[in-house]
Structure 1
Amino acid sequence: MLPEAPALIAGNGRAALLTPDGEFLWLPAGEVTAHLDAPPLLVHAPATARRLGLPGFPGAFDLLELFAFCRPAQPCAPTPRGLAMALGFDAPRDAEAAAALLPEMATALLRHLAAGRGAPLNRDAASLAARLREAVDWPWAASVLAALGDESAVASPNGLKVWRRLPEWEDTAPPMPAASFGVEPAEARQRLAEILGEDAEQRPQQADYASAAAAAFAPRTAPGSPQMVLAEAGTGTGKTLGYIAPASLWAERNGAPVWISTYTRNLQRQIDQELARLFPDPEERRQKVVLRKGRENYLCLLNLEEATGGGHPGQVMALALAARWALATRDGDLMGGDFPGWLAELFGHHAIAPLADRRGECIHSACPHYKQCFVEHSIRRARGASIVVANHALVMVQAAFGGGEDGRPLRLVFDEGHHLFDAADSAFSAALTGAETAELRRWLLGAEGGRSRARGLRRRLEEVVGGKPDLLAPMEAALHAARSLPTAGWHARLAEPAAAENPAEAFLHQVRHQVLARSAEADAGYDSECDLHPVTETLPEAAAALERAMARLETPLKTLRTRLEALVESEGEEMETGTRIRIEAVCRSLDRRALAPLGAWIGMLRHVQGPAPEAGQRPTYIDWLSLERREGRDIDAGMHRHHLDPTVPFATVVAAPAHGLLVTSATLRDAAEGEDVEAAWHAAEARTGALHLPLPALRAAMPSPFDYAAHTRAFVVTDVRQGDAGQIAGAMRALFLASGGGALGLFTAIRRLRETHARIAPALEEAGIPLYAQHVDAMDNATLVDVFRAEEDACLLGTDAMRDGVDVPGRSLRLLVFDRVPWPRPSILHRERRTHLSEGRPKDYDDAVARHRLRQAFGRLIRRADDKGVFVVLDPRTPSRLLAGLPSGVVPQRLPLRAVAEAVRNFLAE
């Protein structure tokens, strides 16, 4: 079944080639093509070509394509080593071993497919492979058909039409009211012991943590007064299983789910993996545990159907592998779930992104695939689950709209609770920009020319409003008023005075004018911002005109929503279930997509016309204007509004309606040198909203069990000049070579990250150290972390997303390097919070942010008791007070680069 193909492994500028005759060659990049008598066998064709500086390998036998076809929805890091580990082989020790292993891995995949010929998953596999042979001359088609025993299979579209084979969800009776029985500390300890098993390592801190977390599940004693626990658990405590223990007990005892919320999709996946300890049986775990994300994260079957009907040859391969995945996936999650994130790099982001509903175009019960919809499945499963794993953004948005489709959870666990302030800041803010207002126009009016599935409000409601003048009239009025929002090509006209009939574009033009008038000359060509007040003479007039236009849009939309709700109330019993569901979904969409932003925008525009606040007065909101640019071109402008303290709406909207909350993190408190314990807890309460609740939060802190003094080292490099890209890149290169790989470089700016990557990649590759980078490699963050974890000697460059919540135990992460102190970015928003939330100590406010970021990053180094790691900051100006946030026993040393590199080499070699 195997093709007669040479096996190719790429380095940077050279390649290892194993010929079909068994001859092994090391070749410079320029000689590779001359030695290829046939398309090669390789892993990740685009990455291989990029590393060799070649245009590509047409017709290559890419093992990732074969893996995605044969073992859909199974994890695999997209490298030879990662593929070997996924298939149960020993990781290859060098390029020669990796090349020799490629045919063996291909054989293993084809044998796996052959063994499953009769499985439901492979019912249409042969006809799908035949179609790929016809449409794109897929190199693996002959091998796959041979493995399936059907070499004469006829091409058929059935393999792409997976919606025909997916299970349908069924409605069940509404969930019963939850009981209010609590969880005793001793019961939480007992459940934890059961989860861990008899042979587990005894960790007293973990048991103490579970005991403390149980207090968040005590019965609520008064409305609006949830039981709140703030629990700091040092790295290695085992906090995830520590809170799962009481959470699972409460869910079983009271017949309602506990929602566990975290900050990123990657962390959701990690928590889900930990829950396998509680529910080892996959089918039971599917029933008891549900991951919930926004609709934009899931495969939209209608989008998939329309994409398959397009017949674009370049997309057929991606669609075929997505269809195979859709039959095997656990929950249809395209972002951070079991979907292989590297498919977007193989076939282009444009081939995968349109498969999700990223623009709010869901037509709910009017969709022909509504009963198979992955989102609807997850919503219904969540209602009967024990544990729902969500993210902060979804939880806050759902709460803001009264619970939404999932209902309002009674018990919440906020893991990575140090991010609550930022998550609330994002959820409860508003942006009156060109992009936001143009998106509202598109959502209301649909596609106004060009090819798009954007149906607009009329198409979504045509079956409902037909023959009902009381619905048709406000809908038409709203659609007419929507024409005052920006039209196509608005961003190219920002510098031009707008026509009177488009007050939105006129307002954006005046915003741009004020920003440029107030910006420093050095900002020319880059993103800029300025305070709203004092306003220019022309801005209030433009704001007034836009306010009137938005009021003309808001009024009929409110009327339409009210009359739709009345229709459901009056005719609900006689109405078809699908029609009723569709109307209810439209009402929710009207609230979220139109009425909520319109209400915020109108309030903001009125503020533009009002008097300027007194200097130094503590504001409720912070308003400012911005101009966004790329490569010197204007791409957006607008006004922004954020709460001065976003934990106020968080406490009111999210926390107060709940019965109990656990907010937990390894870095909940600031660890400033000399600060007393009470002050540290007070700051934690301020940043989590606990100060705005009636009952005081219960506090708990468990130290890390790790011996940081013995297993870590920390250095500040004293002779690297900040601002010199060459010196920073040179320092990174020297340190990465000293550690032999396994290094994570963290940057505070994307530009410096890209410059460093370009400068150091060749030298590292020459030393056999692969280098990956966020914002350079076209992989999502989760896939990059998977690669970094699998490739033990690889290095990774990243920004904030790689600093928090990345779990890479063992030697794969043994060195962490900051390019400079991660101070908060100077902005109007930060300036106002620094002034009004710092309790008169603005410098301490900045210090706390930077200290927390350093502490979070340090926590990535040691994930197990036997890990070793080195922490380095390439900024000689690093204040000692910031390093006070590092764990007890870690004493940072200030040394020149050469001495630090030698210390890294010696310490990691011990």
Structure 2
Amino acid sequence: MQNPYVVIDLETTGFSLKEDSIVEIGAVRIENGQISDTFSTLVKQDRPLTDICKELTGITDDDLADAPTLEEVIPQFLKFVDGYNLIAHNASFDVSFLNAAFERCGYLPVSGRCIDTLELAQILWPQETGYALEMLTFKYGIPHEKSHRALSDAKATAELFLLLQRQAKQLPLLVLQQIEQLNMFADWNLRDFFAELLQDPVKLAQTEIPEGCTVIQQLVHRPVEIAERSADRREPLEFDAETATSILSNQGPLADQYADYEERTSQMEMARTVADALLSNQHLVVEAGTGTGKSLAYLVPAIYYAVASGERVAVATHTINLQEQIKDRDLPLLQQILPISFRATVVKGRNNYVCMRKVANGIHSQGMVGDASERSFYARMLTWLLETAAGDKEELNLQGSHIELWNRVASDSDSCIAKKCPWFRNCYYFRNRSATEQSDLLITNHSLVFTDLNADHRVLPAYSSLIVDEAHHLEDEATKHLGEEAGYYQSIAALNRLVRENKQGLIVQMRTLIGLHPEFALLARILDEMTDTIATVRQHAEETFRLLQTFAIEQANNREGGRWTVRIHHMHTELPIWQAILSAFDNLQTDTMTLRQLMKRLEQEAREHDDEIIGFSTDISGQIQEFDRQTMTMTRFFREAAGVSNESDRSVLWLEADEKSVRPAVSLHVTPVHVGQLLNEKLFEKKDSVVLTSATITVNQGFSYLIDRLGLRQSEQQGRLLTLQVESPFDYKKQALLCIPTDVVPVKGVSDETFVDSFCQSITSLARISKGRMLVLFTSHKMLRDAYMKVKPALAEHGIRLFAQGIDSSSRMRLVHQFKQEEKAVLFGANSFWEGVDIPGEDLSCLVIVRLPFWPPNHPIAEARTEAIEKEGRNAFMEYSVPQAIVRFKQGFGRLIRSKKDTGAIVVYDRRLVEARYGRHFIKSLPNPWIYQGPEQDILKVIYNWLKN
């Protein structure tokens, strides 16, 4: 007989336990695997409902007029749930509000365990893209008529639970037993759920392993085979530029796939030029407007060149989205249509792959897995290994603490024991590495390219030519990776993986493994010394970062989103607090040196024992090396700070601190002021050909800005640089209307509050005309939040939903999905929304740019680069700030028109676009939209007619 359950769901006026209250309760009984009874009630409120609550639930103040009070509801609810085990989706939210209500009414808090179907779904369906109730019920066809009504949500959760229960019964017996072992010494909410499954005598008799799986040291997983190096010989292949263009022509194999295929002149021209650059060992910078089809324009010649020459070509993107598009859409298409065979492999950083030895160590260390989040994580690893063929972190939608927990099971070179590992022949990382060695084409990302450059090309297999897509990010990526960064969270995380305050961690696990056996006496003493030393190291690290946090908040003059930044000048190093920081760091260095010495002793002693001991020693060494890298960066930071001058043009030192964090969340940065020379030395001089492409890399229709910033001027002087600008196939004159209101409040000379007040009135009017369907891009999160509070009620009066980044969700994908689902909606975004957001068709008809996207001039990097340019007697604003903003502006502009059928209006509420002398450079850099400027009321009429027609 199955345990009886009650599924609960609450609707509340908000998310704050102190300020908000329960407005509706729904509950469903489950007995013998069936829904047997329901409970539902509204709850009277002592104040009007918030607009958000009414909009989300559909409940009105009139609905609550005759509802019972909380004091009347709670006894009835307790009677309904008495004797039943509780279930909820995202249970911590519901339980916390219930307990607050119980306390208010004089009852004891919820006792016993509450099963969370969100957590259970993460374990049993480890590769879902999202775990919101609405997403899961939609995918699995569970009836869910009234989302955000308590009884409907409770019923949907009940059906979800029953489905998950059936899924759990299908797990192999060994996996269920291992999940139970994880909970042997713990009070986990899911403990009874999994224990109940093991009480079934039929299940206990099912000892077979799932088809296609294997078992190594009690870990069930799908076998991974490392392919042997291929020895096949290919026929010689002739290749020239015309070969590449023929594939994309109306007479080519691509046209055979699509009945309405039309060759694109711009795509053909780009493919021809990429081929020429590869064949002649030249570098190429090419801007290909939206709709060109640039990925095929470089992939086709890259594949032909690699196969014909035998020289591997790498393709690097900035975003995962584009990398996945190439992997899932472009490469399968080309494998199908090209008359030649080729091999392509997606290459990711090593820590994207799971290390099965580390998973096994965590699972087999009974009683050593700490909190509920860890148990949930390792249970999820067990079920994921039954499914995954790649072992790639990207398959998992990791959130919260699971993101940090991934580092415990991630593959890395510091802790790899290679052929001594029992999983070596089944290693996901080495399987991928073997595939890359046999590939003609590598698909990777900017970050890994720079990691490879810093490691003297030991990370990626050798390649002769590189194609960089989304190249407008290259300077920022180079700045990030060619510099150094150390931080509190990275440092403490490494220590926590060794010894945590709750007596968990690798050292504790190893100490428990060897026990009191005399054979391990020396190992035990070393581990005990390390535990004591780490406690001291942690103390000095906390002190150092705490002082740095105080210093940063006191000295910073730049604050955005609760983050303080301060650039280090010579005057700072003379302050008393700086001397205190150096003293604390000196103590940290001394203890870190002791830790290094203990690690060497541990490694020497571990070699005398078996592979399991060696494995633990290697894992411990890896974390100490990670911590050591952090302290070495800090050492460089303080050493350079001692000799820093305000005129330094080589590197800039700066701190970033979070003022609101309970912990001293500080990061230290040593960043190159100029990356151009470094890129020339490390990249452009080392490779036969580098192709840089993007939809937005010209300024004033020219490449001069990019050539200077990326260090390509020397290649140009040597005659090794080609440039090409191909136009988009879209007719922007007919598809895009650019409007600049000339009578709106100016950006400069008024307070942000005044600007936001004026702007919000404009947004409301514009949203009504466009019937929602509007994306608003901000340059400031604070301004976004202020505008959201003012605009949301006004839009609600007209039946228009408002979604905002960082308020409704931090997930860009989720917000865009919600925006598309609504008939009338407005979406507020900042930073990441300026590019990569793709909303084609009628879902988006209006784009608003609040301000021109200039970098904060007092950010340490911008400040240092400005000083360096001005030191040479040049105009930093026109040569650096304006071009940088133009590239960003073009990215934002590109969100509107995504296909030949799209039409819409762009409104820029920044009069500098037409009033400042540099404004014409922004407009000249755009792809020739129809432009209208005038009073706002006239612009509203023009947009209305434009959208109507």
CA contact (8 A) 2:275 2:301 kept: yes
Identify which of 211, 216, 220 aligns with 2:277. Answer: 216
Report the alpha carbon displacement of residue 261 of structure 1 after superposing the two structures with TM. Answer: 0.9
Contact 1:263 1:419 in 2 (8 A): yes
Shift of the alpha carbon at 1:645? 1.4
| 2:805 aligned to which of 774, 781, 785 | 774
SS at match of 1:231: strand
Superposition deviation, residue 231 in structure 1: 1.0
* Alpha-carbon offset, residue 866 of structure 1: 0.6
Residue 696 of structure 1 deviates from its aligned partner by: 2.7
Out of 422, 425, 429, the residue aligned to residue 479 of structure 2 is 425
> Match of 1:859?
894
- Higher mean displacement: 735-744 or 300-309: 300-309
CA–CA distance in structure 1, aligned partners of residues 483 and 332 of structure 2: 38
Whether the 8 Å contact between 1:392 and 1:423 is mirrored in structure 2 is yes
**Greater C-alpha Rg:** 2
**Which amino acid letter does the alignment assign opposite residue 836 of structure 1?**
A
Query: 1:165 deviation in Å?
Result: 1.8
- Note if 1:241 corresponds to 2:285: no
> How far 1:396 moved relative to its partner?
0.5
Corresponding residue for residue 893 of structure 1: 932
Tell me, yes or no, if the aligned pair for 1:127 and 1:153 is still in contact at 8 Å. Answer: no
Given that residues 855 and 885 in structure 2 are in contact (C-alpha distance below 8 angstroms), is that contact kept between their aligned partners in structure 1? yes
Distance 1:396 1:108, change over 3 A: same
What is the CA–CA distance in structure 1 between the aligned matches of 2:171 and 2:342, rounded to whole Å? Answer: 25
Aligned-pair identity in percent equals 20
* Contact 2:290-2:894 at 8 Å conserved across structures: yes
Does residue 798 of structure 1 match 2:829?
A: yes
**Which consecutive residues of structure 2, in runs of 5 or more, have no partner in the other structure?**
15-22, 29-34, 41-56, 102-109
The aligned length equals 826
Is the counterpart of residue 715 in structure 1 residue 739 in structure 2?
A: yes
**Equivalent pair of 2:287/2:697 in contact (CA under 8 Å):** yes
Query: What SS is found at the alignment partner of 1:290?
Result: strand
Which of 714, 728, 736 is residue 704 of structure 1 equivalent to? 728
Provide the residue aligned with 1:501 in structure 2: none
1:496-540 deviation line (CA, Å, top 9, x unaligned) = 6xxxxxxxxxxx59xx66x68866699999724244235644689
CA shift for structure 1 position 630: 1.1
Q: Which residue of 2 aligns with 1:684?
A: 706
Match of 1:354 among 405, 422, 437: 405
The equivalences for 1:125-274 within 5 A come to 153=203, 163-170=219-226, 172-173=228-229, 183-192=239-248, 193-195=252-254, 197-199=256-258, 200-218=261-279, 220=281, 227-255=282-310, 257-274=312-329
Cα separation, 1, equivalents of 2:602 and 2:229: 25
Distance 2:230 2:631 in 1: 31
Does the 8 Å CA contact 1:648/1:692 hold for their aligned counterparts?
A: no
Deviation string, structure 1 residues 604-652 (Cα, Å, up to 9, x no partner): 5454444847x5xxx5413334362413989356764322211221222
Give the whole-Å Cα distance in 2 for the aligned partners of 1:888 and 1:634.
48
Aligned partners of 1:289 and 1:387 also within 8 Å:
yes
Shift of 1:807: 2.9
Which residue of 382, 390, 412 corresponds with 2:466?
412
User: Do the aligned partners of 2:677 and 2:711 also contact (CA within 8 Å) in 1?
Assistant: yes
Q: 829, 851, 866: which one pairs with 1:834?
A: 866
Aligned partners of 2:447 and 2:481 also within 8 Å: yes
**Per-residue deviation at 1:867?**
1.3
* Aligned CA distance change for structure 1 residues 314 and 635 (closer, same or farther; 3 Å): closer
Supply the distance in 2 between the matched residues of 1:179 and 1:760 (Cα, whole angstroms).
66
Contact 1:163 1:369 in 2 (8 A): no
Q: Structure 1: how far apart are the matches of 2:119 and 2:824?
A: 25
- Write the distance in 2 (CA, Å) between the matches of 1:216 and 1:109: 58
> Counterpart of 1:663 in structure 2: which amino acid?
L
Are positions 1:378 and 2:437 aligned together?
A: no
Tell me which residue corresponds to 2:50: none
SS of residue matched to 1:635: coil
Distance 1:73 1:408, change over 3 A: same
TM value normalised by structure 1? 0.71
Q: Distance in 2 between matches of 1:876 and 1:70?
A: 54
Rate the CA distance shift 1:110–1:622 in 2: closer, same or farther, 3 A: same
Q: Distance in 1 between matches of 2:684 and 2:613?
A: 34
Pairing partner for 1:822 from 853, 856, 860: 853
Aligned-CA RMSD value = 6.4
SS of the equivalent of 1:663 reads: strand
Amino acid at match of 1:686: D
Between the aligned partners of 1:421 and 1:269, the Cα distance in structure 2 is 23
Shifted more, 895-904 versus 684-693: the winner is: 895-904
Code of the residue aligned with 2:779 in structure 1: it is: T
Change (3 A) 1:238 1:625: closer
Deviation of 1:305 (Å): 4.8
CA contact 2:544–2:585 (8 Å) conserved in 1: no
> Is 1:869 the equivalent of 2:907?
no
Q: Secondary structure at the match of 1:403?
A: coil
- 1:130/1:155 contact within 8 Å kept: no
Distance 1:237 1:524 in 2: 37
The Cα shift of 1:377 comes to 3.2
Contact kept in structure 2, 1:550 and 1:602, CA below 8 Å = no
Inter-partner Cα distance in structure 2 for 1:434 and 1:544: 16
Whole-Å separation in 2 of the counterparts to 1:43 and 1:772: 26
| 2:664 aligned counterpart, secondary structure | strand
Q: Higher RCO, 1 or 2 (CA under 8 Å, sep at least 6)?
A: 1
Amino acid of the structure 1 residue aligned with 2:272:
S
Q: Report if aligned partners of 1:81, 1:790 keep a CA contact under 8 Å in 2.
A: no
Q: Which residue matches 1:503?
A: none
Which amino acid counterpart does residue 217 of structure 1 have in structure 2? L
On the 8 A contact 1:361/1:455 being kept in 2, the answer is no
Counterpart AA for 1:247? A
Displacement of 1:151 after TM fit?
A: 12
2:539 matched to 1:488?
yes
Q: What pairs with 1:273-672 in structure 2 (closer than 5 Å)?
A: 273-278=328-333, 288-301=343-356, 304-305=359-360, 310=369, 323-329=382-388, 331-334=390-393, 337-340=394-397, 344=399, 349-357=400-408, 363-365=415-417, 369-431=423-485, 438=491, 442=495, 446-447=498-499, 450-453=502-505, 487-488=538-539, 490-491=541-542, 508=548, 527-534=564-571, 536-537=573-574, 594=628, 598=632, 605-610=638-643, 612=645, 619-626=648-655, 628-631=657-660, 635=664, 640-671=669-700
Q: Name the amino acid aligned to 1:657.
A: K
Give yes or no for contact 1:816–1:871 (8 Å, CA) kept in 2: yes
| 3-state DSSP of counterpart to 2:224 | coil
1:698-757: CA deviations, max 9, x gaps? 111110110112212223344357512444455445544543344333222223333444
Distance 1:660 1:560 in 2: 47
* Alpha carbons 2:115, 2:189 under 8 Å: kept: no
Change beyond 3 A, Cα 1:809–1:129: farther
Q: Distance in 1 between matches of 2:232 and 2:600?
A: 29
Q: What is the CA–CA distance in structure 2 between the aligned matches of 1:289 and 1:11, rounded to whole Å?
A: 51
Alignment CA distance shift 1:886-1:547 (3 Å):
same
Provide the rounded CA distance (Å) in 2 between the counterparts of 1:893 and 1:697: 38
TM-score of the aligned structures, taking structure 2 as reference length? 0.68
How far the C-alpha of 1:205 sits from its partner, in A, is 1.2
Tell me the distance in 2 between the aligned counterparts of 1:881 and 1:312.
58
Q: Distance in 1 between matches of 2:832 and 2:888?
A: 11
Quote how far apart the aligned CAs of 1:228 are: 0.9
* 1:502 corresponds to: none
Any idea what SS the aligned residue of 1:487 has?
helix
Question: 1:363: how far off?
Answer: 2.0
Query: Does the CA-based 8 Å contact 2:9-2:94 persist in structure 1?
Result: no
User: Equivalent residue for 1:223?
Assistant: none
* SS of the residue 1:217 aligns to: helix
Range 293-302 or range 243-252, more displaced: 293-302
In structure 2, the CA distance between the partners of 1:886 and 1:808, relative to structure 1 (3 Å rule), is farther
Asked if 1:745 is matched to 2:752, the reply is no
Change (3 A) 1:110 1:275: farther
State the Cα distance separating 1:185 from its structure 2 match.
1.1
Against the structure 1 CA distance between its residues 244 and 485, is the aligned structure 2 distance closer, same or farther, given a 3 Å change threshold? farther
Counterpart mapping for 1:33-112 below 5 A: 73=127, 80=134
Judged with a 3 Å threshold, the aligned counterparts in structure 2 of structure 1 residues 554 and 847 are, in CA distance, closer, same or farther, namely same
How far the C-alpha of 1:830 sits from its partner, in A, is 1.1
In terms of mean alpha carbon deviation, does 425-434 or 633-642 score higher? Answer: 633-642
Contact 2:374 2:405 (8 Å CA) reproduced? no
